[in-house]
Structure 1
């Protein structure tokens, strides 16, 4: 296991962190998963107030005993922004009690996903007043935020200088947030990548076409290497549901050197294949088509279409597409069948794509039963 400095927090975190959204089958399973992760060198565990019994299970594991003392572990919990300081005070105390701690190494404001959320954390007597007081009295040592927001909101949140670290989405198959990575780096913020295996493409169960294109590497390995080769990134989340799910990711826990020539060649192969397969229907993800009057997230819809057609990533496409209209501000946007063919987007598209037709095609390919976030 390799370790990196988590920005201005100066914490030295393992390059993989244990995320606890999925280990909730039982308290015993949670303990075994945490115990195994720590034994393998993971020293950062991330939970959240909203993850069911996750905080309680983590607290039970800490009480039972792990391979290293508490002083060698870094614990993060996440609490959503509140409208007032008193609520945040209560939530911080409740989280500390559930986990059985007298201090948190890191507190992340959970889900600065909208301009309204960003406004909440900038209110002078709002929730951040309680956070500042918790830092002053030692209950919280470092403060950051997690986000599923659009790039402009993320950049604005980083620019507030209220935070020491950021948790965000960024992967080989979703590089839209590259400017946020760079801005965080210039401000010496720690960068925590959310769910690179799952949200990054369901890469633990890749389609055969993608596996073939990534040879001699696996798609999961290649995505991890793409991220770990970037020294601006501190740590990647593993949302292991069982101890066994730690095995494959941690095979690359010491592989954080620059990309090799062989890896670069495979990434170039992926890019060339997508360009050839999609041809004149390829969305370049410039986002110039927005805003859409019907609130369709056109670039994200067409990104899923790109991946489906280029790499047969249809299961991933369905997984994400079916969350539209069902996950609120965590995954905003209407489904593509809400397109009225108004044509507003057409003159803004530098590729001159027939966007209404591509939206309709994506809906036909990917629509199915609605999905929600695991924890809303």
Structure 2
């Protein structure tokens, strides 16, 4: 496993991290706690030292905390997220931060996360939504400083609104944040325009989520693909979206001269090709997923020709809406 610095936070993170949204009994149908625990343990054995969870991810914090506490003598870094007090995703423009992240709410959410996980601190505390309207307003920054001083958190980050990397530029340039979590993949390459360069300039770590487009960049989504009842991907890939994805994927694999089975590997290597990226956090619910993804931390970047090909496969859309 190779490691990168999380900006100027002082934390060194595995370049393949662990996205823990889908573990346990979650909105990703098919996950079980036993499978998740085995996968988490295997990830740590293979060098993964960064796990991303959230207060809003069902049983995820509890399961992550259980595994971390079982890894006696090993440093496993855990990031979690504070949900907005008003419960609105994404954050609408024009809201006062007192409505979304007042200090009291931040502290209460953190205390709940600590209690549920059984941990005594989190290495990264993130706001689960963000708006640059909040820079310089409210008491959130003072609260974060107090939590750092108390030792309950080591660094502060935000999860940038889906497909809107420009909404965190002012925060990055303010010096008030240690890391940002952002969607970045072959389809959504917008962060490379302004956000990633700004993070590199200001020493802000970058955590990449949705590198595989919720499964769209695994090569397994095509016309006719369906998911079990109750699985949230039925909404993400609704109507003719699977067919659209299948056509885009066919074009990518043809242009790269690879098979569909090799697409996920190339998608993750695409993300890691950016030196501004600290870690990518694919969801890994099975030992097989873990072993496949961690094997990519081998220092073999995509070639300049491959990156040039992938630059032509941007696809601006928002399947979350």
TM-score, with normalisation over the residues of structure 2? Answer: 0.76
Cα 1:159–1:199 change in 2 (3 A) is farther
| Aligned residues: CA RMSD | 2.4
TM-score, with normalisation over the residues of structure 1? Answer: 0.65
2:213 to 183, 198, 206: 198
Q: Confirm or deny: 8 A CA contact 2:219 2:264 kept in the other structure.
A: yes
Which residue in the other structure is 1:210 paired with? 252
Aligned mates of 1:267, 1:187 — CA distance in 2: 25
Q: CA deviation at 1:270?
A: 5.3
Find the structure with the greater CA-based Rg: 1
2:129 to 104, 111, 121: 111
Query: Higher relative contact order at CA 8 Å, sep ≥6: structure 1 or structure 2?
Result: 2
Which residue in the other structure is 2:242 paired with? none
Q: Runs of 5+ in structure 2 lacking a partner?
A: 25-30, 86-97, 222-245
State how 1:66-145 maps to structure 2 within 5 Å.
Answer: 66=71, 69-70=73-74, 72-82=75-85, 83=98, 84-112=102-130, 114-115=131-132, 118-119=133-134, 122-125=136-139, 127-145=140-158
State how 1:1-376 maps to structure 2 within 5 Å.
Answer: 1-24=1-24, 25-63=31-69, 65-66=70-71, 69-70=73-74, 72-82=75-85, 83=98, 84-112=102-130, 114-115=131-132, 118-119=133-134, 122-125=136-139, 127-148=140-161, 150-178=164-192, 179-199=194-214, 201-205=216-220, 207=246, 208-216=250-258, 218-257=262-301, 259-260=302-303, 264-269=304-309, 303-304=316-317, 320-321=318-319, 323-324=320-321
Q: Confirm or deny: 8 A CA contact 1:228 1:255 kept in the other structure.
A: no
Q: CA deviation at 1:221?
A: 2.1
Cα 1:108–1:204 change in 2 (3 A) is farther
Runs of 4+ in structure 1 over 6 Å off: none
Count of residues in correspondence between the two structures: 269
Q: Runs of 5+ in structure 1 lacking a partner?
A: 275-284, 286-299, 305-319, 325-376
Q: CA deviation at 1:157?
A: 2.3
Q: CA deviation at 1:215?
A: 2.0
